[in-house]
Structure 1
Amino acid sequence: MSSKVIHAIYTDDDLLMQAVKQTREARYRIEEVYTPFPVHGLDKAMGLPHTRLAVTAFLYGLVGLSVSIAMMNFIMIDDWPQNIGGKPSFSFLENLPSFVPIMFELTVFFAAHLMVITFYLRSKIWPFKEAENPDPRTTDDHFLMEVDVANHNVEEMADFFANTGAVEIKLINK
């Protein structure tokens, strides 16, 4: 089944923001917006839900902290206890001050690396993936709003987007 979308191209981010608001008020469904740089407030204007990446980063940090505690307890206390600088080697809590930098570093390491992997999986980015950018001008100086035609009148939609300040309007079969 082939779906039709309208590509409305804008040359100014303020016009794009106003057009997104007007498009949502007109109850048209915005598929995607392509911009050459992040536009502040665009996610809120599009009605996108808040991200849960901060929660996942916290959980990944807890995983890193747990791994570091388990690793140091096993290596420095259970498996190979050594007297380093006169520090006692029979208790994790007595060695805790010297373990804090390792715990911090592994917390940051796990959070950072697992967040990158999560971002790639969530964005469906993997090696050798073809770019999904519908118009190469959106990497330079144009903004593109992709709107689902669904059961709407195409001429009426084209007039609507022309009134919002679009410099170019195309009907595309996906």
Structure 2
Amino acid sequence: MASKVIQAIYNDDDVLMLAVKRVKEAHHHIEEIYTPFPVHGLDKAMGLAPTRLAITAFMYGCVGLTVAITMMNFIMIEDWPQNIGGKPSFSFIENMPAFVPIMFELTVFFAAHLMVITFYMRSRLWPFKKAENPDVRTTDDHFLMEVSLNDNEDELTRLLVDTGAVEVKVSEKH
């Protein structure tokens, strides 16, 4: 079911920030904001929860470290121990200094690659996905704020024009 939203277009990020604050103060629900570049502080002004991607990065790094330790212990100690340069391979602890670079690299490898996959899945970005941008000007130099309509079109239009919107229109949200 499609619902109606009002789209306000701004041409300055500072004006947009002030508009977001005024719209939130008036207790209207902002559906989405489209910007050509990251606007610092916009997530806080919109009242969005902080991201938990850093926690997942740490967990992915721990998975990489576990895989590295398990792999090296199996390959170099249990499965095929070799006497390289007179250094015995009887235990993992004796050889740990040589294994540190491998543990570091696999930790970073797992964290980086799994974070990219998590980001794309969380953002619902996948190959051949149709763009959801309602106005192509937001990829160049304009900012667009979508606000839900609840039988308050005239009041909301006046508010958005007062906040500095250069263009206001009503459209269907799918």
TM-score by length of 2: 0.98
Amino acid at match of 1:58: F
Secondary structure of the 2:93 match is helix
Distance between the aligned counterparts of 2:85 and 2:21, measured in 1? Answer: 65
Q: How many pairs were matched up? A: 173
CA-CA distance at 1:100 after TM superposition: 0.0
Structure 2 unpaired stretches of 5+:
none
Counterpart in the other structure of 2:155:
156
Secondary structure of the 2:127 match is coil
Following TM superposition, where does structure 1 have runs of at least 4 consecutive aligned residues deviating by more than 2 angstroms?
A: none
Secondary structure of the 1:33 match is strand
CA-CA distance at 1:2 after TM superposition: 2.2
RMSD over aligned Cα, in angstroms?
0.7
Secondary structure of the 1:170 match is strand
Distance between the aligned counterparts of 1:90 and 1:117, measured in 2? Answer: 38
CA-CA distance at 1:87 after TM superposition: 1.8
CA-CA distance at 1:142 after TM superposition: 0.1
- Share of identical aligned residues, percent? 74
Amino acid at match of 1:5: V
Amino acid at match of 2:78: D
Alignment of 1:88-99 (within 5 A): 88-99=88-99
Distance between the aligned counterparts of 1:155 and 1:30, measured in 2? Answer: 16
What does the per-residue CA deviation read over 1:30-56, in whole Å, with 9 as the maximum and x for residues that have no partner? 000000000000000000001111100
Counterpart in the other structure of 1:47:
47
What does the per-residue CA deviation read over 1:84-135, in whole Å, with 9 as the maximum and x for residues that have no partner? 1222111100000000000000000000000000001000011110011110
CA-CA distance at 1:23 after TM superposition: 0.4
Amino acid at match of 1:117: I
Structure 1 unpaired stretches of 5+:
none
Distance between the aligned counterparts of 1:55 and 1:105, measured in 2? Answer: 19
Distance between the aligned counterparts of 1:104 and 1:42, measured in 2? Answer: 35
Counterpart in the other structure of 2:169:
170
Counterpart in the other structure of 2:84:
84
Distance between the aligned counterparts of 1:88 and 1:168, measured in 2? Answer: 75
Distance between the aligned counterparts of 1:43 and 1:85, measured in 2? Answer: 57
Amino acid at match of 2:46: M
